[in-house]
Amino acid sequence: MNLVACPKCQARFDVSSLPPGSTFICGQCRNMLQVPRAPVAPAAPARPAMAPRAGPAPAPWATPGRAGTSGQMPAMDPRRAGMTGQMPAMDPRRAAAPAPAAPAAGGRGSRRDRRGSGPVARKKSNTPLILAGVGGGVVVVIILIVVFAMGGKKKPPVIPVAGGGGNASMAGGGGAVPAPPTAADRQRDLENRWVAAGKDLSKIQGIFQEVKSAGFSSLAQKIARDVAEKVDRNCVWANEEIGRKDLKVLYAKIPEDEKLETCPNPELETLRFMREDEESTWVDAEKYKEVEELLRITVEHLAKLKSDPLYEDVCNVVRRVKLDPIFRNYNTRVPEVHAPPYVVVAETGGREDLAATLEADKLVKRNMDLLHQLYTLFLEKFGNSFGLEPLAKQKTGDMRTLKVFTFFNEESFKKYQEDIRMPLPDGVRAYYSPMNQWIILFEGRGFEQTARADASSFNVNKTIHEGVHQLIHAFTKATVEKALGGESLSWTDPRVHSRLHWFQEGMAELFGSSRPKDGGGVEMMVPYRSRLEEWKMTRNRKLSEWSFEELLDVSTGQDLQRKSAQKGLADAGRLSSLFYAEAWAWCHFLYFHENGKHRQLLLDQLRHELDGDSGPDVFKSKVWKKKPGDPEWNAMKEEFEKYVQKLWSDLGIK
């Protein structure tokens, strides 16, 4: 029997059937044991028999002093013979002693002699039987005590390691051989070794390979995930095992181009932030697809920057809004889709919730559709007549894009005016700034509603109104620069600014008077009922008006404010508004009266405006070529008055 004791729990195992060097698991404490190369505890050799002393062969033993004995030695107690059951050899010295002499004649013989000459029967001893019975009883008692003591104690199982070549059994187990190790035993052993390896990545990788070879996929996943999350987040084999991918592959494909530096897209900024900020580049498949999409959009963005100048302009405008020290103070919403040549941005009223975003998107789309419809109509009416090229074909970016910013919040709108140091008169909700080419709109929330029945319709009209100012300004700059041989002019150059106020405001109101069309969109250049009602109310109340001569003599907005104050300081606001009504009526008369009888006058004035030649005297001396008091002047004045009276009648305005 070859015994091995567990140093941890002291359980002993018979490993005789296992090859030296093999391993097995202690069934008591799960400790890993190894069969030694040489037997650990060989069985003790049997006690050798006592060697006989030198001398002659032993003689039969005789009892001295007794005649007639047989000379045979009585049986020896087995316990005295070393419990072997063999009688020991007799002392040779005693065997050599002479036989006792026969008794003298006449003397008393032995008891055997008295009974006869035959052998005397010797009485048999019971001592050996008694001793054997006592010994057997002691053994039985000991066995019972051992069985009783171990009856409630579970014998620890022995789990040999697979490939050990045999089985180890508990010492004294009767030679019982346990069942072969199971896959679960093998998996537990590998898991125990993994836990014992701690954070030693090289050991863990070796155990991981064993786990993979054994086909324990769930344990392999567990080990790999633990390594990727707790030991080394960038471990290649661990991340690949749990299905992750390395973003370094995508980061290497991020394009680098000068255009991206001046006009980066949000997706590129996100990619750059991720590349610099994240400690680990290994992500799951879903996250990897998201980054792939960011990269795809960035690559397409760069391709469009190189091939589409208008797209580049739009991106520059968006970037300018985000970096502008004034605009960036407001939460803004920039749509992803644009209707060239317009870029429309909306402020979300200081809110960032989904409802505000959706509302801003809706407004941006509406205004963009309106302005794009205006742009199309403007080119349809005047493009061919004046050789106007689409803005998208202009050489400079500031000419190819028309910018619009819409405010939702009244406080934000007023704060913006304070920031740019341009206070507005009360009630002004929109304007075009020729200094930065922005249309600034406010949707009217927070303002007290005017007498107009449809505030939404008014918002549409003012959006179109400011869009006309922007178009005339842009096309004037383009036309003047073309006439100068391509010389680039500043937007503040006097040659690109109108100085005939009835033409500027009258044309803006002419297109701005609109109504919804069936199927979507609006119909522009329709009779402006609210303006006609405003003028009729002034006439009914016999309030001061602008005469025909006064109407044609106003040059700019500042000139209008000055002359309104001169006519009546307390009534200046009403007079300024009335001027817009009369200017609309005059332009509508020139364009539509008797199927365009006087339309050429309006077109000729537009020609001069686009050439940078503007002002009241230009219309009087170069276009109409009439002056107050001339018969033609008075006839036109009377004809205009009748036209307005007819409009009031046709629309039922009293």
Q: How many CA atoms lie within 13 A of 119 on its CB side?
A: 6
> CA–CA distance from 68 to each of 61, 74, 106, 221 (Å)?
13, 15, 16, 98
Q: Residue 127: its pLDDT value, please?
A: 64
Q: Is the dihedral of CA 229, 234, 237, 241 positive or negative?
A: positive
Q: What would the mean pLDDT of 450-458 be, rounded to a whole number?
A: 46
CA torsion angle 136 137 143 145 (round to 10): -160
SS3 of residue 187 by DSSP: helix
Over the chain, what is the mean pLDDT? 79
The CA-based diameter of the chain, rounded to the nearest angstrom, is 212
Query: Taking the CA atoms of the chain, what radius of gyration do you get in angstroms?
Result: 59
Q: ∠ at Cα 370 (355, 428), nearest 5°?
A: 80
Q: Nearest-CA neighbor of 583 among 508, 525, 515?
A: 508
SS3 of residue 282 by DSSP: strand
| Structure token digits, residue 291 | 């980054």
Determine the Cα–Cα distance for residues 416 and 400; give it in Å rounded to an integer.
25
522 phi, psi to nearest 5 deg: -130, 155
Q: Each residue of 513-541: pLDDT tens digit?
A: 999 888 878 999 999 999 999 999 999 99
Residue 638 pLDDT class (50, 70, 90 cuts): very high
Task: Say which DSSP state 58 is in.
Answer: P
Residue 209, number of CB atoms within 10 A of its CB = 12
Q: Which amino acid is at 249?
A: V
Using a 10 angstrom Cβ sphere, with 0-12 exposed, 13-18 middle and 19 or more buried, the burial of residue 447 is middle
Question: pTM for this structure?
Answer: 0.62
Q: Residue 38: its pLDDT value, please?
A: 61
Q: Residue 285: its pLDDT value, please?
A: 93
Q: ∠ at Cα 162 (161, 165), nearest 5°?
A: 90
Q: Each residue of 312-340: pLDDT tens digit?
A: 888 888 788 878 777 777 767 666 556 77
Q: Nearest-CA neighbor of 328 among 422, 259, 433, 405?
A: 405
358 versus 62: which is more confidently predicted?
A: 358
Q: What would the mean pLDDT of 287-311 be, rounded to a whole number?
A: 92
CA torsion angle 500 506 510 515 (round to 10): 140
Q: Which amino acid is at 591?
A: Y
Q: Nearest-CA neighbor of 338 among 359, 313, 355?
A: 313
Q: What would the mean pLDDT of 14-25 be, rounded to a whole number?
A: 80
Task: Say which DSSP state 210 is in.
Answer: H
Q: Which amino acid is at 199?
A: K
Q: Each residue of 154-189: pLDDT tens digit?
A: 444 444 444 444 445 444 444 444 557 788 989 999
Q: Nearest-CA neighbor of 268 among 303, 234, 240, 294?
A: 294
SS3 of residue 516 by DSSP: strand
Q: Which amino acid is at 424?
A: L
Q: Nearest-CA neighbor of 431 among 446, 416, 419?
A: 416
Q: Each residue of 396-449: pLDDT tens digit?
A: 656 778 899 888 777 888 888 888 888 887 778 899 998 888 999 887 553 333
Q: Which residue has the tokens 């620069």?
A: 481
Determine the Cα–Cα distance for residues 434 and 322; give it in Å rounded to an integer.
21
In the chain, pLDDT over 70 holds for what percent of residues? 73
Determine the Cα–Cα distance for residues 600 and 625; give it in Å rounded to an integer.
13
170 phi, psi to nearest 5 deg: -60, 140
Q: At what angle do helices 501-512 and 599-610 cross, to 10 degrees?
A: 120
Predicted confidence (pLDDT) at residue 67 exceeds the cutoff of 70: no
Predicted confidence (pLDDT) at residue 224 exceeds the cutoff of 90: yes
Residues 6+ apart with CB under 8 A from 346: 332, 333, 360, 361, 363, 364, 405, 406, 408
SS3 of residue 25 by DSSP: strand
